[in-house]
Structure 1
């Protein structure tokens, strides 16, 4: 069964002072924590086994979400003594993710994508390529140059135009991280660019709702939007209070 990982180890410097005492994925929009939106959408797409990494205030995440039973999932926790960056955190969690392709979601974004298509993309990855499949979005105003070029055949390239922005949602084969040493910080972008140069990364353009919830202003805007559209839950989610 395909597993999913939610990245939740970031310090959230741009969110301070909100993140001085609360991990960024537990900040609320539309009446519930950002990470809970992901958990609910992953479960709706058929994911039952989730891995969540943490570093800064990680104990608060575990206290709030527990083993995942309240959400109909099973959560395995991947603690990091200090944040290992995206690729390093995924490499550290591989023993929990297993030897099959998996889906990864940044814990500090909001996206209305259907995770069913990402799960299908993960099932199509192989050790001899493709090694990754990324969900791309239109370039936001704070990142106008984008990240990668998506060609007509669905392949991603580190160079070329037009460019789109990586959403933070993707599917990966464990082989992409095989050369990394455990417990060593490592960024994801260099691994992806190397795989793109070998023609081993595919992608899809998501035209729906996506926001990088990286600042208090964006969090407040998302909160107002969700409350205004009726997408917010009528009652608070079943998250244990954090003290």
Structure 2
């Protein structure tokens, strides 16, 4: 059986979360009794992802201290430190040598999502066999982002220009070729790569209708924590 790796993006500074992130990396902020990043690790492990790559920059040593090699969570973590912020695509490009030159899943470390990652595992497998460069998980537009990002048609194709639009969740499966044109250790954003791939009809996706939160402010963090506490 083919093995697929997953990467959790954890290198962001978390400016909007200050002062909480002055001494704690944003993915280590707790909701529902455990750090945001641990929710991801547990869901990825449940879906069969046992080999994870995590990048870091700001307070990265705190992440390594908290998570170690991943054995306590039933996974194996390879760390991808960044001397300077490389943005999303630059961070992924820097980590490619750890991702085994095969399609992989990426999860933003500062979102909360109840998606079943086994579906993303299937999506990564489809990139290996059918040719698209990316498969994105889209969600309903939150109040703070009402216009959304991308259009999803009935055949699962994603387009950057049509409407109505859904919001990109920060969770996707990618083929390494999407990042082939980037130089290592160079900051690069993900959106331009995705838009170019969409123009070539190389991006597919699905609509997740479950729970998703962009935990970008202290208020959203506190609200999610209260919600999870009520759920027990």
TM (norm. structure 2) is: 0.98
- Aligned residue in 1 for 2:60: 58
- Aligned residue in 2 for 1:221: 223
Shift of 1:129: 2.7
Question: Aligned with 2:72: secondary structure?
Answer: helix
- Aligned residue in 2 for 1:170: 172
Question: Aligned with 2:127: secondary structure?
Answer: coil
Residues 166-225 of structure 1: per-residue CA shift (max 9 Å, x gap): 000000000000000000000000000000000000000000000000000000000000
- Aligned residue in 1 for 2:122: 120
Aligned length: 230
Matched, 1:105 2:114: no
Matched, 1:140 2:142: yes
In structure 1, distance between residues paired with 2:14 and 2:130: 36
In structure 2, distance between residues paired with 1:126 and 1:199: 16
TM (norm. structure 1) is: 0.94
Q: Which structure 1 segments of 5+ residues have no match?
A: 231-243
Residues 108-145 of structure 1: per-residue CA shift (max 9 Å, x gap): 00000000000000011049830000000000000001
Q: Which structure 2 segments of 5+ residues have no match?
A: none
Shift of 1:98: 1.3
Matched, 1:69 2:81: no
Shift of 1:82: 1.1
- Aligned residue in 2 for 1:10: 12
Contact 1:127 1:175 in 2 (8 A): no
